[in-house]
A and B are shown apart, each in its own frame.
Chain A
């Protein structure tokens, strides 16, 4: 059984388009995250939700909008895609938002903007 799943795994699109990435976890965790990993392999936190509520919102363009319909799902919608958005996006979850819990990562979505 996949603990944290993301779709799609690969996404190739044109500049200016709008796209969504979906994430689901079946671990019963309360907290979910979105990370961006660029070509230099640096993992940067974008958002964190705890029980459907936003708790971390780093300096991310407002073209990025997370949505959490329930605590098992955290989707990421991106408007007006730009070349610099090309990266791998990882979803993760942890038992609580306390920070000391292990985070479990999804397989990643490789986004390429042309």
Chain B
């Protein structure tokens, strides 16, 4: 079966750094997305990785290791507005998007 695992919830402090992990077992791999979803709102695109390594985009970075079936989203200089759910999604061999259940990130002052 296809499976994507993320922690259900994480808590971090404003100004700190947090790493949200995602592991996947899918039939094939054609890329991995990270989306952000604020409560009551739609998911919005954060990053896309298809090659191994780190992609940096401002305060957010996303890392991929295809051999380990592993990705993480790194958020630096956390702000209160970063409180949201972060969804990991993998494109399988049929080019279908398989979604994780998301990690709810709580930022405390």
> Looking at chain A's contact residues, is the secondary structure mostly helix, strand, loop, or mixed?
loop
Q: What residue in chain A is nearest B94 (Cβ atoms)?
A: A99
Contact A105 B30 (CB under 8 A): no
Contact B42 A107 (CB under 8 A): yes
Contact A100 B87 (CB under 8 A): no
Contact B95 A100 (CB under 8 A): yes
Q: Does A64 contact B (CB under 8 A)?
A: no
Chain B interface residue bracket vs A:
20 to 34
Chain A interface residue bracket vs B:
20 to 34
Q: What residue in chain A is nearest B87 (Cβ atoms)?
A: A43
Which residues of A are found within 8 Å of B37, using beta-carbon distances?
41
Kindly state the separation between the CA atoms of A19 and B48 in the bound complex, as whole angstroms: 36
Other-chain contact of A41, B42, B85, B91 (Cβ < 8 Å): B85
Which residues of A are found within 8 Å of B70, using beta-carbon distances?
none
Kindly state the separation between the CA atoms of A75 and B66 in the bound complex, as whole angstroms: 37
Other-chain contact of A102, B33, B50, B94, B102 (Cβ < 8 Å): B33
Find residues 43-72 in chain B having any chain A CB closer than 8 Å to their own CB.
43-45, 48, 50
Which residues of A are found within 8 Å of B41, using beta-carbon distances?
107-108
Given that A41-B85, A42-B99, A42-B101 are contacting pairs, would A100 and B50 also be in contact in the complex, using a CB cutoff of 8 Å? Answer: yes
Q: What residue in chain A is nearest B103 (Cβ atoms)?
A: A41
Mask: chain A, 19-42; 1 = CB below 8 Å from B; 0 = not: 000000000000000000000111
Given that A41-B101, A43-B99, A99-B30 are contacting pairs, would A104 and B87 also be in contact in the complex, using a CB cutoff of 8 Å? Answer: no
Mask: chain B, 84-95; 1 = CB below 8 Å from A; 0 = not: 010100010011
Q: What residue in chain B is nearest A105 (Cβ atoms)?
A: B42
Which residues of B are found within 8 Å of A104, using beta-carbon distances?
45
